Amino acid sequence: MEEPVLRKKCLSSFQAIILGFAGVILAGALILMLPFAARSRTVTPFHEALFTATSAVCVTGLVVQDTASYWSGFGQVVILILIQMGGLGVITVAASFALLAKRKISLMQRTTMREAIAAPKVGGIVRLTGFILRATFVTELLGAVLMMPVFCRDFGVRGIWMSVFHSISAFCNAGFDIMGTENIPFVSLTSYQKDPVINITVVLLIVTGGIGFLTWEDIRTNKWQFRRYRMQSKVILITTGILLVVPALYFFFFEFNLLPLADRVCQSAFQSVTARTAGFNTADLNCLKSTGQGILIVLMLIGGSPGSTAGGMKTTTIAVLFANVLAVFRRRKDAQCFGRRIECEAVQNAATVLMMYLVLFMTGALIISLVEGIPMGVCLFETASAVGTVGLSLGITPDLGLLSRCVLILLMFLGRVGGLTFIYAALTGAAKNFSKLPQEKIIVG
């Protein structure tokens, strides 16, 4: 009688992505607990180190301790490495080491890499990964060089480190800054709100990192021939343009209308861009009208684009849902965009993502408001920032209790790995059911 063959269970690509992020976060938290990671040379409590590591790897920017005044040089380097790994994606970083070691990439590994960067197919994934690494480091280096004259003027030799840190943080849409002091912590880039070099450079880095590596490959391949772009790239570029211009116009006419024209343009454009998962700010967000804060919440939830350093629901999710609304209005069976039909599965996934983000964002705010006794509006802003991996804050995060911080940690993690990734990882191996139940109509709307 033959012995049964034991099958080796392998992790699915979705499980590998989640465990990869979780492993890096845990390792980062343990390193940040070391005494020489803090300026005070004391052991940082685990929950504070975990919050910081999660925020860095998930490129969020929410912090419980001021990055500049609390963490030592070593701690800041660790945070920057975590930001870089989180921005590129843990799987992409691991694949880059394999490429440098000239190891053969298996089909399973290629599939995981495809899921990690939201590539359309497995073919050419290694070449695409190489392009991502080169483009990332060239862009970050250029951003650092552009900001260096300003920071070296203000901080001397330390300005070099300031330039590198903020360039990587901006491109990875992380929002971490090292501008604070013991007397004035959590200042972000408010002291440079009138500096055109810092404002323009940071804005360009955020947008470059946020539109996605596949879009940049399309631009590199097809140059100015927009009609030859993939439908996804067209959708991303058009949607991004709308989400940058329309909110900027609101801020220009209704929030910063008392500022001089040049400052008004700078501030309006910066707030419109930074809410798309970057997390830097050059204005006191508590001084914005409730309408302005509401617009920031919407922008934070939408976020950047697939396969980018940004988080959020993604621009394509909103675009697909909008296309489906137009199809319903026009009594068309399928959603359409740029002369192409959008598959039904994409519409279903978009609706699922929207519902998941709304549930996470609302539930998190309800818990924090109930536990901390803070107004719901303020809590909604903070949870939108967490689940959208943005980092903008109305200032309540450092004062939150342990339970509320755990809620934000969970929201940051789910916002970065993606809700659908988490569901697919949990359901891996579940038997597919091809049977159909009887159909019956239900009235909606």
Instruction: Give the C-alpha separation, 412 to 394, whole Å.
Output: 17
In this prediction, residue 430 carries a pLDDT of 55
In this prediction, residue 380 carries a pLDDT of 96
In this prediction, residue 103 carries a pLDDT of 67
In this prediction, residue 9 carries a pLDDT of 56
In this prediction, residue 167 carries a pLDDT of 96
196-245: pLDDT as tens digits: 999 999 999 999 998 988 888 889 888 888 989 999 999 999 999 999 99
268-285: pLDDT as tens digits: 999 999 998 888 988 889
152-202: pLDDT as tens digits: 999 999 999 999 999 999 999 998 999 988 888 888 898 898 899 999 999
Instruction: Give the C-alpha separation, 114 to 104, whole Å.
Output: 16
Beta bridge partners of 341: 336
Tokens standing for 254?
């209704």
Mapped onto helix, strand or coil, the DSSP state of residue 341 is: strand
Q: Residue holding tokens 């995060």?
A: 397
Percent of the chain with pLDDT over 70: 85
- Rounded mean pLDDT of 414-443? 70
In this prediction, residue 213 carries a pLDDT of 84
Q: Residue holding tokens 């809700």?
A: 419
CB 117 within 8 A of CB 136: no
- CA torsion through residues 370, 371, 376, 379, sign: negative
Percent of the chain with pLDDT over 90: 57
| pTM recorded for the entire structure | 0.89
Q: Could you tell me the pLDDT band of residue 2, with boundaries at 50, 70 and 90?
A: very low
373-420: pLDDT as tens digits: 999 999 999 999 999 999 899 989 999 999 999 999 999 998 888 766
pLDDT at 133 over 70: yes
- b/e map of 178-202 (b: 16 or more CB within 10 Å)? bbbeeeebbebbeebbebeebbebb
Q: Mean of the per-residue pLDDT values for the chain?
A: 87
pLDDT at 345 over 90: no
Tokens standing for 39?
């300026």
29-71: pLDDT as tens digits: 999 999 999 999 999 999 999 999 999 999 898 999 999 999 9
